[in-house]
Structure 1
Amino acid sequence: MRRFLVIFLIIPSVLLGQDSLRSDTTCLTLGEVIKMTLSYHPIVKQADLLTLSAEAVLRESRGQLDPKVEFDYDLKDFKETEYYNLLNTTFKIPTWLGVDPKIEFQKNSGEYLNPQNFISPTTDNEQIAVGLSVPLGKGLFFDERRNAIRQAEAFSQIAAAEQIKETNKILFTIIKDYWNWYFASKKQVLMIQAIDLAQNLFDRTLIDYEYGEAAVVDTLQAKINFQKRTVDYRKATLEYELAKLNLAKHLWSENLIPLELQSNVLPDSASLFSPPEDNSIKAAIEFAMTSNPEISKLEGKREQLDADMRWARESLKPQIDLSYSLIDAPIDPELNSRAVEFGDNYKMGIDFSFPILLRKERGKLQQSRLKLQSNEYQLAQSQIELKNDVLGAYAQSIAFQDLLVQYQGVSRNYRRLLDAEIINLQNGETDLFKLNIQQDKYIESQTDFYEAFTKWEKSKAEFYHVVGFPILGLSNLFGIVTN
């Protein structure tokens, strides 16, 4: 009867679960961790700055098309004589096509005025010229400011891809650290169960020894087993604390305040990712080939190189800039309408330049072609590597899923053997050595099961990370709209 009572106390300790061991605990789910990360993590916030920076660059480049007002005023007055009084105001409107309208207002007077600046006193020395400037050669179809805008637009695509890449990277890291914490937690619970069983067995052996039903060597073996379980528990506790600290470094609240995981907070086994299926692989590969952040960055770089090469080709043309302005037409200084007569009252200028050998221009064009070709090679290589990575991540997820099922069966069977061995010990049909072996096998199989589970969860997240879905495909879960 005494043995039965002792064994009755032993068996529940083996069957204890995590919830019963820590009744005052609270769970921190992976979804809650991801939500905090997207809201407060410094790296995510830093990644958001990339798109803001790209918007600023694009705004700056588009500023080259902003209307501009220029104002020049020169005055010389010496010994009560006004040598000259020159006022020149210009309003220019840069356009995307390179044809820039402009309006000039001049008011010139003085005793020693340069003849070319003379304006008749009949109009109060005022004059208005309305005209435009047109590049007839270099810059007619593409110019430097259009190149800058194209570059900035492509940079916006690159920055958006980089933001997705950096956000996904930190999310994937956090997910791996979370499941490492989960695995360490489960392993610690196994060690708690193991040390509890070893303690009960040691106490039972001592009682049996006192009644002459166990040898001294049995008590020594039980003590060694208890000591070994204690060491294993210390190691598991250390691994758990390190894993918890490793995850805690990712937890932030508002105003960049770091958070700590309290001792009663434990991980949860709920998954955020559905396992990839055969019918989704084709769509995933198609998405990765066009929208993966690395591919998007290379395509954005290609657009920049295309713009560079187009400007390099344009630079081979001669510089021929024509400007033509009507004087006091179609309006005069008093803002009265005037008839337009192109043959009278006008200003016209032509600027021409052309490098004879074009070595600078041809060298720039050649460099642009080589860079573009290199980018195409890199894009092709990245696409084939990405395709293989997606297939590899899918195969890995399927393999871990199969392993999980096998390990679950193995663990369940070893659990039955351990329970049976405890009953055999009660009936005197076995010894502590065999029981320890079965317990070791059970702990090993259960550890393998939890390890396979965590690897499976990591592999599911890795699949979405490799494909390159924004926020690892969790946008709908958290109500986030992505482009």
Structure 2
Amino acid sequence: MMFQSGTNYGETSTVFHRIIMKLQPQNQQKMKKLNKIFLLVFLLFVQFNFAQDSLKLSANEFISIVKNYHPLALKYQLQNKIATAEITQARGGFDPVLGGKLGEKNIDGTNYYKQKNLELGIPTWYGIDIHGGYNYIEGDKLSNTETVGGLYQFGVTIPLAKNLLYDKRRAMLDQAKFAQKMTEAEQAVLTNELLLDAENKYLEWVQNYEIYKLKTEIIDINRERLKLTIKTFEYGEKPAIDTIEALSQLQSFELQQRDAFLTFVKTTQELQLFLWKENQQVYELSQMIYPSDDLTNNLAYTDYEFLINDVESRQISSHLSILYYNQKQNILESERRLKWQSFLPKVDFTYNFFNKENYKADYLPLFDNNFQYGLKLEIPIFQREARANYQIAKIKLNQNELDTNYKIRELDTKIETYKNEILNYRTQIDLSENNLKNYERLLSAEETRYSNGESSLFLINSRENKVIEAQEKFISIRTKFLKSFNKLKWMKENFTL
């Protein structure tokens, strides 16, 4: 930032010295006060201007940077990839499993056994497991249950009660699919909230910049007024006290300008938190940046009614926040179905068909030759765990329904609040603009009276202060209107088509 002096202090000091000498016979106390003011001229009367090698940044460019490079935006995108990977993980429960075994046991020259085994298991969607394999075994110390030589096996395991209609594998896959949609909805809402924060921070930045420019412009006006007042004093047309009045007003605005510039720099630093480059590199500002947009030329002033009508026409159930809770409800319902399976007895039927190597297969009848079957039954007596888990699953469903109803009410309230803010601030803009014009007319009239010798510089300064206050209020109301517009705009982005 370049700092430049905007006043010729050598010339000004000579004039004020003559003023002080003229007032000395009148009042010694006034002279001491003037000396203090004269010192403040050199301490505080410094005008700083913008560097010429500055950068301009528009709102669209800024939002594009945030969307593409901000760590949180990228984090949300990665979260969606995690949800997709979890679906693949859940599908792994249905992957065929290929296994093999090779072994031999020999002690003191006795060949206990020599074995080769190859198996393939295929889980299916409805809880039925299909398996097949080939087993070769030979040896001198085999069990009576072992079949010497090669043996082919094909079998199936069927749940007849528990896990037949629904089981953990199907539940995990269903829940992973619901979780993906749930994550996509959540991350979209979070991303839009990030972009809303970024765009409103940009508006604050523009507001502080325009206030700073306002203070700079009024300083230029008051500097010229001070020069004119000094000349009129030298010609004997105005009293010496008018020069002090003009100087005090100028110094007051210079102090305000310094404070406005400090606020603008602070907002620039806060804006930098949203600025990132590729490969997650921090965007370090080597020079000052300034907004290329302003608060006046914005489509919001003409589009706000269309936006309100658009949002009001949307179904609240299509909001991504509601879709998030709907998908969560699906996950909890899947968990409830799974817990309900615990009430059923576990009855598993297993059938295996065998065929010895180099023998002709004799498939039918199934229970006549070369087969093995089993029937396994498990029934929890008190069902305490099943009843507790099922009750918990139902309570979680009720909790989510309450959360959904509350979220719907919250969204309705937000939409109504944002709509009222927009309409209210739009009305305030017109009132504030008219108020500003009236203060400007009063100031112009007071300046005319002053030139005719009918007013004083004190009254002009008072009118001018009112104009500055009205201008700052006007800028503030515009910012509030645009912020409220952004809130509703990004709310609309959270609705699905």
- TM-score category by the smaller chain? 0.7 to 0.9
Distance 1:264 1:389, change over 3 A: closer
More displaced 10-residue stretch of structure 1: 25-34 or 398-407: 25-34
The one of 33, 43, 50 aligned to 2:72: 43
The one of 104, 109, 115 aligned to 1:86: 115
Distance 1:448 1:335, change over 3 A: farther
Which residue is 2:157 aligned to? 133
Counterpart contact for 2:55–2:288, Cα < 8 Å: no
Separation in 2, partners of 1:83, 1:360: 47
Counterpart contact for 1:174–1:250, Cα < 8 Å: yes
1:137 partner SS: coil
Paired residues for 1:435-450 under 5 Å = 435-450=460-475
Q: Which amino acid aligns with 2:319?
A: S
Paired residues for 1:47-196 under 5 Å = 47-119=76-148, 125-196=149-220
Q: Deviations over 1:79-135 (max 9, x none)?
A: 12210123332211111111121112111111111121223xxxxx11111121111
Which residue is 1:319 aligned to? 346
Counterpart contact for 2:157–2:350, Cα < 8 Å: yes
Which residue is 2:427 aligned to? 402
Separation in 2, partners of 1:149, 1:47: 22
Q: Which amino acid aligns with 1:290?
A: S
**Unpaired runs of 5+ in structure 2?**
1-48
1:77 partner SS: strand
Q: Deviations over 1:200-241 (max 9, x none)?
A: 222222222222222222122112111111111111111111
Q: Which amino acid aligns with 2:263?
A: E
Separation in 2, partners of 1:220, 1:440: 17
Separation in 2, partners of 1:25, 1:402: 36
Q: Which amino acid aligns with 1:460?
A: F
Separation in 2, partners of 1:227, 1:93: 87
2:145 partner SS: helix
Separation in 2, partners of 1:83, 1:138: 41
Give how far 1:337 is off: 6.6
Counterpart contact for 2:56–2:291, Cα < 8 Å: yes
Separation in 1, partners of 2:214, 2:362: 97
The one of 310, 322, 325 aligned to 1:280: 310
Which residue is 1:15 aligned to? none
2:163 partner SS: coil
Q: Which amino acid aligns with 2:275?
A: L
Structure 2 residue 278 is matched with structure 1 residue 259: no
Distance 1:68 1:21, change over 3 A: closer
Q: Which amino acid aligns with 1:358?
A: Q
Which residue is 1:122 aligned to? none
Separation in 2, partners of 1:60, 1:272: 47
Separation in 2, partners of 1:245, 1:401: 30
More displaced 10-residue stretch of structure 1: 454-463 or 415-424: 415-424
More displaced 10-residue stretch of structure 1: 131-140 or 199-208: 199-208
Which residue is 2:477 aligned to? 452
Structure 2 residue 252 is matched with structure 1 residue 222: no
Which residue is 1:473 aligned to? none
Separation in 2, partners of 1:337, 1:437: 111
**Unpaired runs of 5+ in structure 1?**
1-19, 120-124, 471-481
Which residue is 1:358 aligned to? 383
Separation in 2, partners of 1:165, 1:29: 24
Q: Which amino acid aligns with 1:302?
A: Q
Number of equivalences: 442
Distance 1:394 1:373, change over 3 A: same
Counterpart contact for 1:105–1:129, Cα < 8 Å: yes
Structure 2 residue 202 is matched with structure 1 residue 202: no
Q: Deviations over 1:445-481 (max 9, x none)?
A: 11111111111111111013345527xxxxxxxxxxx
Q: Percent identity?
A: 26
Distance 1:264 1:140, change over 3 A: closer
Which residue is 2:336 aligned to? 309
Q: Deviations over 1:174-223 (max 9, x none)?
A: 11110000100110011001211222222222222222222222122112
2:151 partner SS: strand
Paired residues for 1:223-262 under 5 Å = 223-260=247-284, 262=287
Counterpart contact for 2:66–2:274, Cα < 8 Å: yes
Paired residues for 1:294-443 under 5 Å = 294-328=321-355, 333=357, 339-343=363-367, 344-443=369-468
More displaced 10-residue stretch of structure 1: 446-455 or 410-419: 410-419
Q: Which amino acid aligns with 1:351?
A: K
Counterpart contact for 1:386–1:466, Cα < 8 Å: no
Q: Which amino acid aligns with 2:210?
A: K
Q: Which amino acid aligns with 1:310?
A: R
Which residue is 1:4 aligned to? none
Counterpart contact for 2:189–2:494, Cα < 8 Å: no
Separation in 2, partners of 1:427, 1:263: 45
More displaced 10-residue stretch of structure 1: 42-51 or 425-434: 425-434
Which residue is 1:11 aligned to? none
Counterpart contact for 2:57–2:289, Cα < 8 Å: no
Q: Deviations over 1:49-87 (max 9, x none)?
A: 110111111111111011111223342111122101233
Which residue is 2:63 aligned to? 34
Alpha-carbon RMSD: 2.3
